[in-house]
Amino acid sequence: MVNSTGELTVTGVNHSYGTGKIKVPVLYDINLHINKGEFVALCGSSGSGKSTLLNLLAGLTKPEEGSVTVSGAQISSYSENELCMFRRKNMGFIFQSYNLLPNLTALENVELPLIFAGESKKKRRAKATEILHRVGLEGRIDHRPNELSGGQQQRVSIARALVNQPGIILADEPTGNLDSKTEQEILLLMREMNKENGTTFIIVTHEQEVAEQSDRVIYLQDGRVVQKRTRPA
C-alpha cells in the first residue's frame, strides 16, 4: 500500500448507471489532477455528476472506463476489501447528513475508525478526545448524536474524518443542512484543518460561499468538466 500523499489524478473516466441495454451516462471523459493540500470545491447543478465523481474518488464506485489514482495508488483496480483498508488509512469522509452512529457517543463515533485500524483502547481514546477538543466539542464528548445540534454533529463528523490523519478529506455537501452562521463556522474549521495539517479537501457543494472559500472550483455540467477556476492568491 502506498503512503498517503494527498494527490489525486483522474484520467479519461467515463461512467454510467444501469446495466444491460438501459444505461444512463453520468460522466464523460473526466481528466483531473488535485494537488496535495488543495481545498477544492466540486460545483454543479443537480444531476451534473459531482456526487458520482466524489464516489469514484473515494473508491465507492469503480469507473467503467479510465482510472483513478489516489496518493499514487490506482484504486480503480482494488478489490472491495483493499479499498476498505485504503480508505481507512488515506481518506476521511464528511456527509451532508453527518452519518453518525446514533447509539454511540461523540467520543465513540470518533473512535470508530481507530477501532477498525486496530489501535489500543488507551491510544484511541486519547486521540479521539484530542481531536474533539480541536473541533471545539470538549464539553460534548459523552453526548449521543440526538443530544447535539446539527453544527455539533458535523463537527463530530469532521473529527471522525480527521482522527486517522488521512491525506484526503472528501466532503459531500457538508454544510447543506446547516444555517448560514454554522455553515461559516464549519467552513472555517475545515479551512483551519486544511492549513494546519496540509490535508487535501474535496468538497461537493452547490453553495456559493463554499466555492468562494476554496483554492479551486471545478464546475460540472451534464457529466462534463466545464470550468476550472482557481482563486486568485
Partner 1 sequence: MKLRTALTSVGVMIGTAAIVAMMALSLGLKESAVKSLENFGNLTEMDVEPLRWYEEKGEWIDVPEDKVKKLNMQAVQELKKIPGIQAVMPIKELREQAKLKVGRREGYVQLIGVDVNESAAYRKNDIEKGDYLTGSPQEVVVAFDVSRELRDVEKEKREERRRRTGGGQAGQSTMPPDMGGGESIGFNIVDRAATLILSREYRIDDEPKYEKKELRVRVVGQLKKTEERGSSSAVYVPINVVKELNDWVTRGREEENNEGSTRRTREQAKKDTFEFDRITVKVESREKVEGVVAALKEKGFEVWSPARELETINNFFFVIQMVLGGIAAISLLVATIGIVNTMIMSILERTKEIGIMKVIGATVLNIRWLFLMESGFIGLIGGLAGLGMAWGAVELVNYFGASGGLLDSLNMGYGGGNPEGEPSKLAVIPGWLALFAIGFSFVIGVLAGIFPAIRASRLSALQAIRSE
Distance CA 156, CA 62 (A): 29
- Nearest CA among 10, 19, 8, 7 for reference residue 223: 10
Which CB, 17 or 77, lies closer to partner 1?
17
Which CB, 31 or 97, lies closer to partner 1?
97
Residue 200 CA from chain centroid, whole number = 9
We find the least distance from the C-beta atom of residue 137 to partner 1, in angstroms, to be: 18
Q: How many CA atoms lie within 13 A of 87 on its CB side?
A: 23
Which CB, 40 or 163, lies closer to partner 1?
163
Which CB, 56 or 210, lies closer to partner 1?
56
We find the least distance from the C-beta atom of residue 230 to partner 1, in angstroms, to be: 30
Distance CA 43, CA 209 (A): 11
We find the least distance from the C-beta atom of residue 93 to partner 1, in angstroms, to be: 5
We find the least distance from the C-beta atom of residue 5 to partner 1, in angstroms, to be: 18
* 52 touches 61 (CB < 8 A): yes
We find the least distance from the C-beta atom of residue 131 to partner 1, in angstroms, to be: 14
3-state secondary structure of 223: coil
Cα separations in angstroms, 73 against 2, 9, 20, 62, 89 = 6, 10, 30, 14, 12
Backbone angles phi, psi at 130, to 5 degrees: -65, -45
Which CB, 110 or 187, lies closer to partner 1?
110
Distance CA 60, CA 52 (A): 9
Distance CA 146, CA 153 (A): 9
We find the least distance from the C-beta atom of residue 166 to partner 1, in angstroms, to be: 9
Which CB, 61 or 200, lies closer to partner 1?
61
Binding region for partner 1 (CB under 8 A): 55, 58, 60-61, 80-81, 84-85, 87-89, 92-93, 95, 99, 101, 112-113, 116-117, 160, 164
